Amino acid sequence: MVRVLTAGHVNWDVTLRVDRLPEPDGESRIHSQRSSGGGSAANVAVALSRLAVATGLIGSLGDDQHGLLARRELDGADVDTGGLKTVEDAETAVKYLLVDEVGEVAVLGNDGANEAVTPADVDAEYVRSAEHVHLTSQRPDTAARIAELAADAGITVSFDPGRRLADRDFSAALADADIVFLNDKEAKSVMEGEYHESRFADRVLVIKRGSDGAEVYTPRASYGHPGFGIDPVDTTGAGDAFAAGFISALLDSDDYERALERGNACGAITAAEEGARVAPSVDDLEAFLDSQF
């Protein structure tokens, strides 16, 4: 049985470390290249599993070599892939991540097969088997279906819609979400766009501010954490690691200050190393937190 079920994109990432992010008509020098599994739903699932949380995944891959490698990484991380769909004669989504010398990231990619899961493909019993469901960017109708199933079963739902929030109608999924994760830019879009601030009055809103920490707004109180003083090497996956640390802390407690601390710690540890799949183990997290005091 899984405690947390994540749903959304499963990609293959190609990370290029460059001297600077390219501008129009400009050129950048590549220092190094590496490849690994990626995608927010898969990243959160792996990070939760490293934190000793039994985790399952709903998503889709192509039947190509990249899909085989991505599935093998998930299996190796002890993520339950019972909800992972393989699409015949399709390519797995590949994202090219350009990381500059201060850890900032730009992304190029194709959609591939990563939105092949339709509402009809969702296994209702698989969703109902979880204690918590975490949604990431995906087809809005599929996100809405998963959120509806979870909400009807009394299962808590968190949603991190990601950078495409302004371009997609996630209103149905947001309506069933108990916790919403946004970064600074996404929060501005939410407050100024169709998702007005009042829409979040009865739920938990988490604003991720990168190296400046994070804030949580609940119906009863607000909390903040300044983050940890680390020099970022690669911010890829840091937000996903933050979500994993935050969710894992709330599974057995409603201590939002502790959740913020652990989320920020997971994000900081991940940003201090290369790659999106470097989230900490339980021992790594505890050692890091002990070193801060």
Question: Would the pLDDT of 186 be above 80?
Answer: no
- What the block records as the tokens of 146 is 């998963």
In this predicted structure, what is the pLDDT of residue 195? 46
DSSP labels for 147-174? HHHHHHTT-EEEEE-GGGGGGS--HHHH
Question: Would the pLDDT of 200 be above 80?
Answer: no
Name the more confident of 22 and 42.
Answer: 42
- What the block records as the tokens of 27 is 């050129």
| Structural domains for the chain | 4-10+40-84+112-291 (3.40.1190.20)
In this predicted structure, what is the pLDDT of residue 219? 87
Question: Would the pLDDT of 164 be above 90?
Answer: no
Among left, alpha and beta (phi > 0; psi -120 to 50; other), residue 88 is beta
Question: Would the pLDDT of 48 be above 70?
Answer: yes
| Alpha carbons 225 and 228: distance in angstroms, whole number | 9
Which residues lie below 8 Å from residue 293, measured CB to CB, with a gap of 6+? none
Name the more confident of 163 and 284.
Answer: 284
Q: Give the sign of the dihedral formed by CA 49, CA 87, CA 111, CA 166.
A: negative
Contact 65, 88 (CB under 8 A): no
Instruction: List the catalytic residues.
Output: 240
Q: What are phi and psi of 21, to 5 degrees?
A: -70, 135
What's the pTM?
A: 0.91
Name the more confident of 276 and 12.
Answer: 12
Lowest mean pLDDT among 5-14, 28-37, 77-86: 28-37
Contact 112, 32 (CB under 8 A): no
